[in-house]
């Protein structure tokens, strides 16, 4: 058992509530391109920031809608890696007491079976009307893409108000979804341990969450192959990928729980 794993087990001692914060590095291990690496094929000539603003959508709704539809299709072709599965098992160890807060929009945590997931920046699966905000099924978007080949599809119109359908993600210059940050802050205020995984710890307001945990006496474990601004102040900086560290950590926590239950 390596030193980082032993330290992590020590930090989990007595924990009743757990916060997990994940970023792009978590998704990248499953083969999901990071935001800036997502420019391939039809989209290679565009700056992603030109495709992720309300202004860009108003200028060219087909282009923006098509890019997000293509990202949805790409994400559906990958599977959650073993780190996601480990977090789902960890959630089973802390029923009703583990919250995942993710900056990712790919839905992999939910697909892996984690129950309480707060998606700070929305979801590629959650299209909605740009006017009345009525939800639109992702299955309808998939049908458009599959029927259009390499041509960027024009967004469908809302059956209620006639406005174009848009991706249910947070664009640059937009506020986070109503109530989402409040839920994340509450989870941080209640957490005894925070696992910070695959995030640069530079994107706010998500980067504030570990400090909230520390402020109420909690412990912070950072898992990331590369050091971040959080690393020096974390109780443990575990230099590893999520798929490498999380399965062993959860297995060790499960063994410890079984041993205590058996009285050995």
pLDDT, tens only, 87-122: 999 999 999 999 999 999 999 999 999 999 999 999
Residue 59 vs residues 54, 63, 71: alpha-carbon distances, Å:
9, 9, 20
Write the secondary structure of 187-250 as one string of H (helix), E (strand) and C (coil). HHHHCCEEEEECCCCCCCCHHHHHHHHHHCCCEEEEECCCCCCCHHHCCEEECCCHHHHHHHHH
Candidate CATH numbers 3.40.50.300, 3.30.1600.10, 3.30.230.10, 3.40.640.10; the one for domain 33-77+125-166: 3.30.1600.10
The CA distance from 204 to 202, in Å, is 6
Dump strand ranges (E) for 77-199.
Answer: 98-102, 117-119, 127-129, 135-136, 165-166, 193-197
Q: Would you state the structure tokens that stand for residue 57, as one six-digit string? A: 């959508």
CATH 3.30.1600.10 boundaries in the chain: 33-77+125-166
- In the numeric block, the tokens 């999520």 are attached to 242
Average pLDDT, the chain: 90
Q: Is it the case that residue 34 has pLDDT exceeding 70?
A: no
**Residue with tokens 């098992």, as numbered in its chain:** 89
pLDDT of residue 42 exceeding 60, the answer is no
What was the pLDDT predicted at 148? 56
Residue 150 pLDDT greater than 80, yes or no: no
Q: What is the pLDDT of residue 204?
A: 85
Q: Return the percentage of the chain with pLDDT > 70, whole number.
A: 92
The reported pLDDT for the residue numbered 36 is 56
Q: Which CATH number fits domain 1-32+80-123+177-264: 3.30.930.10, 3.40.50.11710, 3.40.50.1220, 3.40.50.620?
A: 3.40.50.1220
pTM, 2 dp: 0.91
Quickly state the pLDDT bin for 151 (edges 50, 70, 90). low
Q: Is the pLDDT of residue 18 over 90?
A: yes
Cite the active site residues. 121
Q: In the chain, which residues fall in CATH 3.40.50.1220?
A: 1-32+80-123+177-264
Structure tokens at 120: 């700070």
Report pLDDT for 66.
86
What are 170-213's pLDDT values in tens digits?
998 898 887 999 999 999 999 999 999 999 988 888 999 999 99
Integer Cα distance of 169 and 152 in angstroms: 18
């Amino acid at each position: 058992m390596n030193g980082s794993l032993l330290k992590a087990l020590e930090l989990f001692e007595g924990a009743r509530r757990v916060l997990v914060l994940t970023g792009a590095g978590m998704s990248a291990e499953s083969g999901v391109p990071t935001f800036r690496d997502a420019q391939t094929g039809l989209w290679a000539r565009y700056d992603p920031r030109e495709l992720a603003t309300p202004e860009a959508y108003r200028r060219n709704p087909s282009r923006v809608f098509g890019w997000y539809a293509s990202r949805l299709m790409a994400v559906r072709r990958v599977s959650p890696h073993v780190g996601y599965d480990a977090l789902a098992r960890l959630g089973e160890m802390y029923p009703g007491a583990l919250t995942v807060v993710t900056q990712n929009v790919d839905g992999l945590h939910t697909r892996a079976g984690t129950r309480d997931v707060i998606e700070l920046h929305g979801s590629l699966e959650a299209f909605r009307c740009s006017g009345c905000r009525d939800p639109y099924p992702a299955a309808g978007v998939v049908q458009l893409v599959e029927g259009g080949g390499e041509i960027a599809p024009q967004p469908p119109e809302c059956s209620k108000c006639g406005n174009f359908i848009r991706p249910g993600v947070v664009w640059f210059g937009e506020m986070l979804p109503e109530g989402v940050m409040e839920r994340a802050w509450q989870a941080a205020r209640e957490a005894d341990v925070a696992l910070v995984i695959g995030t640069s710890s530079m994107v706010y307001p998500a980067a504030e969450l570990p400090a909230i945990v520390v402020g109420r006496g909690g412990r912070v474990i950072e898992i990331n192959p590369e050091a971040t601004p959080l690393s020096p102040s974390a109780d443990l900086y575990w230099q590893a990928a999520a798929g490498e560290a999380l399965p062993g950590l959860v297995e060790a926590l499960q063994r410890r729980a079984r041993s205590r239950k058996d009285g050995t």
